[in-house]
Structure 1
C-alpha cells in the first residue's frame, strides 16, 4: 500500500511537471511572437515607447498613471485622487484613465526601474497575457470530450487570433495603455462562462470581481462587459429542454427561459452595482459633468466593411487599405476594427460547422459588432439612416461621456478567436497526429505576420529640461507655461515624474471644471497672451494678477521656451509687469518666483457669463446675460468678512438681481436703469468661492441672439 501511495505521488508530480512545461511553452511562444511584433521596442525598453503621432501624447499619460499608482500606494494614499494635478483642488481619478490593474501588475518594476520601462513591459504583457488567458478560456470552452491534443493546439491558435488582432495593434500604436491592455477580457469571459454552465456562489463572486477589475482597467471595456454579461445571462438561460429550476415558457412554446439560471447569471451584475453604489450614487446625484459630455463629439463608429479589411498597418498593403477606407469615410477617426483575415477565415469555418452548439457565442459576437457600429449603420461610406443599437444608450448618464462605441469590437474579436479555434480544431482532426503541430505553427505564423505585424514599429522619446531633472530643482506648486489646459500635450506630466511637484492643470482624458486655469487673471494673461488693463475689477492689472497667483500658492512660474514659441517675448513683458522675479534661466526654461504680498487680501475675478470690456472715453463696463460668475478668493487661514461693492445699471429698464453664494446663501436687489452702487457684507470661506449673479435678460432688436441684463462698471472687494 505504501508503495502504491508513492507511485500515485510520483504520478501526480509527473502530471504537474507536464502541465507546468506545457504552460511554460505556451507563454514562451506568445513571448517570442510578442518580441517579433513589437520590434524594435524591446531593445529600447528603458528609453523609448511605441507611438504614432497621437500616441506620443497618450503614451506619457499612461506612464504618469503607472507612476502615480506607485507613488500613492507606497505613501499610503488613495490612487483614485491626486493632489499633484489641477492644483489646488486636485483631481478625482476614479473615472479617468488611471488603469489601476495595469499599475498594480507592474508595481515592483515601477518601483525598481521606473515607470517608463514598466509601461513598455505592460505593452509586452498585453500581447503575452491576452494570448495566454485566451488559450485558457478556449481550452475550458472546448473541453467537450474531444481529443486533447487538437483542442490544445486549436486554443493556441485562438489565443494568437485574439492577442495579435489588428485592433490591438492599433491601440498599441495609439499608445492608449488602458485600451491596449486587452488581457483582462478573457478572464472575465472565463469566469462568466464558468458561472453560466455550472452556477456556484464563488463563481458569482469571481465573475463580479472580474467585471469590476475590467472596469478599473478602462471604463470603456467595463461598460461593454457589463452589458455583455446581461446578454449572456439571458442567452444561457434559454433552454429547449428541462434543466431544472423555475422556467417560463416563451410565446410560441418552443423556448423556455430558465429563471433560476437567469438569476445566477445576473448575480455578478448585482454584485457590481453593490460595489459601485457609492460612485454611481454620486454620479447620478450630481450628474456626470466631471466625465464630460462627448455625445456631440465625432463618434468613432465602425463602418460595416471595416470589420473585414486587412491589417491597415501592414508594411505591404497597409497604405492602400488606409487610403481606400479614408477615401469612402472622409474625416473618420480610430476606425480600425479589423477582425483579422486569418482569424475570420478560420472563424467562418467554425461558425458553419458548430453554430448549432455554439449559437450563443455567435449571438454575443454579433451583438458586440452591432454596438461597435455606432449610432447609425454605415456601409462602405453610405450613411443608411438606419439607427444602430448604440443610439438607444448613447445619451444615458455615464455612457454619454464616451464616444468610442467601436471599442466594443474587442468582444467580437474574442468570439472570433473562439470560432477560429473551433475551425482550427476541425482541420487538425482531419490531419495525421504528427502534422497537427506543424499546421498549428503555420496558422499562428499566418495570424501574426498577416494580421498582427506592422514591420518595425515607430519609437518616440520625450526629453526633460535639465533644470527639472536635477536634484536642485525648486519646490512647487508650479505654473508651467504654456499650461496645455484642454490641449493634448503630456509634456508637463513627464516633467512632473522627474520633479514630483504639484502643477497647475495637467493633461487628462476628461478635464474637470477648473476656475483657476480658465479665469484667474494671472493665469489667463500667461495662457492666452491677452490683458485687459482697464477692467471692471478693483484691484486690477497687474496687482490682481500677481496676487491671484500667490493666493493659490503658485510659487514658481516656469516658461518652457520651445513650447511657447513666438509669444515668449510678450509673456516676458507680462511677467515683468506682474513683478515676477527671475530666479533661474537657461536655454530651455525660465523660473519666475511669485512674490507673496505683505498682507494677503481677499480678491475677486470674473468667471463665465461676462462679455468683453467695452469703453467710451474713461468709462469701462461689461455686459452680463442671464447669469454670470464671480469668484471670491480668501487667501487667509480662516473665513473672513468681506465688503463687496457692485457699480452697475440695468439694460433698458429696471430688473431684479439675485446673488447666490456656493454655500446656498442668496441675496436680492432691484437694479435701476440709472447707474447705482450696492454693497454687501459676505462671510467668505478659506480658498475659492463662486458667487453667481442672475438677472432676466432681453434680446437686442438688431442682434436677436445677444441677450443683455446688466452693465457692470465696477466690482470692488475689501
Structure 2
C-alpha cells in the first residue's frame, strides 16, 4: 500500500528529503513554527487592523461589533469587579437586568482577552483575539492535514483555505466575534480522530476532545453542533472500516465515542440546561422565511465577491456573495484529492456534502433574491433541513449557510491530499530533470497557497473609529457602578444607538436602559410612561402623532417623566442628535426634552456626538404627595384620536388600558376624570379594574358626561383597564386629589 492509500486518520510518511523530514518533525519547527506563518497571514488578511489595534475595529456590514466589544468587557467586569458568573447582568435592561444564557456571549474569547484588557484596554484585546482566532484556525487545520497526509508543505495550504475562507472573511466584517472563533473546531476534530484511531497517549486525546467540546460550548453552540454531527459521522465511518472485525473492535470504538460525549455532557449541563430553558421560553424559534432567507444557494457556492485575484477581472460585491463561496482553486484541488484517492478520502467528501446540504437550508434555491417574499422563498425542492426544522429546538438556528464552515474544512483536507498527489505526480514525471526536488516540494504549495489567499483576500478592511465621548469617562468617576443608570436615545428601528452605547458602557461602567441582545428579550420597561417617549425621540411620522399634537391626555404632563427617571435612579439621559434625521423628529425630540427637563434647562454636557441631560430633583422631601405628579399613558385598545367641537376624543370598542405611574414610594389616592364621555349605543356598563382588582362599575349614557374613578395607586406602574359592553368615546383625562 503506497502513501496515498493509507486509511483516513493514519499519517503517511512524508515525501520530503531526510533533512527536511528531520526539520519538520522537530516540535519547535514542524509544530510551532507554522504559528508564526499563520500570524503573518492573519495580519495581512485583516489589514490594516494591525496598525490600529487600540483605536479601530473592522466594521463594514453591521453594528454587531459594538455588542461583541461589550461581551469582551463584561466577561472581565463580571469576573474581576462583580465576582459573579457572566450569564446574568445588571448592566443591561435596567432596572430588571438581562439573562445572557441565550445571548451570543462568547465567554471563551472574553476570558482569553482579560490579560490583554488589563494591559492594553478593551479594543486592543478584542483585536488581538481576532488575530489569535485567525492564526490558530490556520494552525489547527495545518495540524489536522499534516496528521492525515504527513506532508507539512501541503498542510500549510490547507490552513490558508480554512482560516481565510470567504465565510470567515464575512464574519470578520460583521464583527461577530463568537462566530469568527473557528479555530477550536479543527483542533477538536484532530483529537477526536486520534481518540478513535487509538493513537499513542490515548488519555491525552480523550481529555483534549472533551476540553475542546467545552471550549466550543463557551464560544458558540453552533460550532458545538457541527462538532457533534461530525463526531457521529466519523464514528459511523470508523465502524464501517472495522466491519470485518466488528466483534473485537466495535465495542471499543463505541465506548470511546460515547465516553467522550458522556463526560462532556455531564460537564456542560450547568450551562446547557439554563440555555435550553431560555431558548424554550424566550421566543427563540425562527420563522421559516428567516431560515430560508439565510440559507446558501447553489449559485452562491460558485460566485466570487471582493477578491484580490478575481477583482482583476471585475469581481466585486453582489447580493449572491454572502460568504458561502467555496473558491475555485480550493475546489479544484479538493476534487483532485477526492478523485485520485477516493478509497481513502471519500469520508471527507461525504462529510463536505452532508454539511453542504444542511447549508442549503429548508428549500433548494439556485440563486438568492434579496427581495424574496415568504411565498416566493418557499418555492423550491424541499431539503432535509425541512425535517430538522420540525424537530424540538430544530427551528432556532437562524443562518444555515454557516454549515459551509465544515464543508470548507473538509475541502481544505481534500485539497491537501490533492496537492500532495500533484507534487508526487510532477516529481515522478520530472524525476530525471529535477536537480533540487526539495525546492518543488515547497514551491508548488507556495504558489497554490498564494493563489488561494489572493482568491479569498477582499482587500484592505474598512475600520471604524472606537473613540468614546469624554462624558463617559467623567461619569465613570461618579460613585459606585450601581449608584445610578443612564438612558441612551434614540432607540427605535434603524436609528437605535443601543449597540454602540453598550460599547460606551465599557468606559462609563453604569447600568443602562435597554440593550442589544442576540434575541430580542421581553422588556416591558421600554414602554413605561415617559421611558417610551424618551427612547423614541425620533418617532414622529406625522405632525399629529408628535408631542405637540392635542390629545385626550395633557401632554404637558410629560414633565412628570422626571419622576419615573428618579424612581429608577436614571441620572442621565444621553441623546445622540446625529441619529435624528428628519426635521419632524428633531422638533419632536426638542419638545420632549424641553418638557421633561424644563424650558430653560440646558444640557449638562454637549459635544459633536452627544447631548446629556441630568434628571432634576422631582420628589421634594417634606411636601405631601401631589396627584399632579402622576404620569399617565395610553396603553392598548384606544382608537385613533378624533377631533370634535368639544375637543379631542378616542373610541374604546370593548376594552382599553391606561397606565398610571406613581413616582412616590407609598400608595397615592387620586381621582381620575374622563370629560366629555359618551356611549354610542345607549346606556352601557363600564367595568374598570386596577392592577387586576375590580372597581365599582359605572353606567355611561349617550349624553356627554364626566366619568370619575377613585383610585389608590401603588408605587411605580399601575394598570387601569376599562371594559365597556358597547363602544364608548372618552374625552380629556384629568388627574386630581380626592
Same fold by TM-score greater than 0.5: yes
- Counterpart mapping for 1:1-40 below 5 A: 18-40=26-48
Question: Any idea what SS the aligned residue of 1:591 has?
Answer: strand
What TM-score, normalized by structure 2, do the two folds share?
Answer: 0.77
Cross-structure match for 2:156:
156
Query: Which of 426, 441, 458 is the equivalent residue of 1:454?
Result: 458
Equivalents in 2 of 1:660, 1:191: separation in Å? 62
Contact 2:294 2:399 in 1 (8 A): yes
Query: Which of 359, 375, 384 is the equivalent residue of 1:372?
Result: 359
Equivalents in 1 of 2:234, 2:687: separation in Å? 56
Cross-structure match for 2:50:
42
- Counterpart mapping for 1:255-274 below 5 A: 263-264=258-259, 267=262, 270-271=265-266, 274=269
Equivalents in 2 of 1:131, 1:281: separation in Å? 32
Cross-structure match for 1:73:
79
- How far did residue 387 of structure 1 move? 1.4
Query: Which of 222, 241, 251 is the equivalent residue of 1:220?
Result: 222
Cross-structure match for 1:243:
246
- Counterpart mapping for 1:274-313 below 5 A: 274-280=269-275, 282-283=277-278, 287-289=281-283, 291=284, 293=286, 295-297=288-290, 299-313=293-307
| CA distance 1:521–1:260, shift in 2 (3 Å) | same
- Counterpart mapping for 1:104-119 below 5 A: 104-119=111-126
| CA distance 1:194–1:246, shift in 2 (3 Å) | closer
Equivalents in 2 of 1:213, 1:709: separation in Å? 60
Aligned residues: 662
Cross-structure match for 1:577:
595
| CA distance 1:542–1:656, shift in 2 (3 Å) | closer
| CA distance 1:651–1:320, shift in 2 (3 Å) | farther
Contact 1:627 1:694 in 2 (8 A): yes
1:493 aligns with 2:494: no
- How far did residue 128 of structure 1 move? 0.5
Contact 2:547 2:591 in 1 (8 A): no
1:90 aligns with 2:77: no
Question: Any idea what SS the aligned residue of 1:85 has?
Answer: coil
Equivalents in 1 of 2:307, 2:220: separation in Å? 24
- Counterpart mapping for 1:140-539 below 5 A: 140-142=147-149, 148=150, 150=151, 152-198=152-198, 206-238=208-240, 240-244=243-247, 263-264=258-259, 267=262, 270-271=265-266, 274-280=269-275, 282-283=277-278, 287-289=281-283, 291=284, 293=286, 295-297=288-290, 299-314=293-308, 316-317=310-311, 320-322=314-316, 326=319, 335-380=322-367, 385-394=380-389, 400-430=395-425, 431=427, 432-451=437-456, 453-470=457-474, 476-483=484-491, 489=497, 490-524=499-533, 526-529=537-540, 530-531=546-547
Deviations 1:579-611 (A, max 9, x none): 444352444333322222225877554445544
1:591 aligns with 2:612: yes
Deviations 1:673-716 (A, max 9, x none): 648968687785x6557x5959799xxxxxxxxxx977666596
Contact 2:239 2:250 in 1 (8 A): no
- How far did residue 117 of structure 1 move? 1.0
Cross-structure match for 2:135:
128
Contact 2:538 2:588 in 1 (8 A): no
| CA distance 1:139–1:659, shift in 2 (3 Å) | farther
Query: Which of 558, 576, 581 is the equivalent residue of 1:542?
Result: 558
Question: Any idea what SS the aligned residue of 1:379 has?
Answer: coil
- How far did residue 501 of structure 1 move? 2.5
Equivalents in 2 of 1:179, 1:673: separation in Å? 60
- How far did residue 557 of structure 1 move? 1.9
- How far did residue 19 of structure 1 move? 0.7
What TM-score, normalized by structure 1, do the two folds share?
Answer: 0.79
Question: Any idea what SS the aligned residue of 1:555 has?
Answer: strand
Contact 1:59 1:177 in 2 (8 A): yes
Equivalents in 1 of 2:412, 2:385: separation in Å? 24
- How far did residue 373 of structure 1 move? 1.0
- Counterpart mapping for 1:599-614 below 5 A: 599=625, 605-614=633-642
- How far did residue 351 of structure 1 move? 1.1
| CA distance 1:506–1:195, shift in 2 (3 Å) | same
Query: Which of 564, 569, 584 is the equivalent residue of 1:553?
Result: 569
C-alpha RMSD over aligned residues: 4.2
Deviations 1:315-359 (A, max 9, x none): 652884446x53xx5xxxx72211222221211111113332333
Equivalents in 2 of 1:577, 1:608: separation in Å? 24
Equivalents in 1 of 2:564, 2:329: separation in Å? 61
Query: Which of 59, 80, 85 is the equivalent residue of 1:51?
Result: 59
- How far did residue 27 of structure 1 move? 0.7
Equivalents in 1 of 2:612, 2:463: separation in Å? 31
- How far did residue 130 of structure 1 move? 0.2
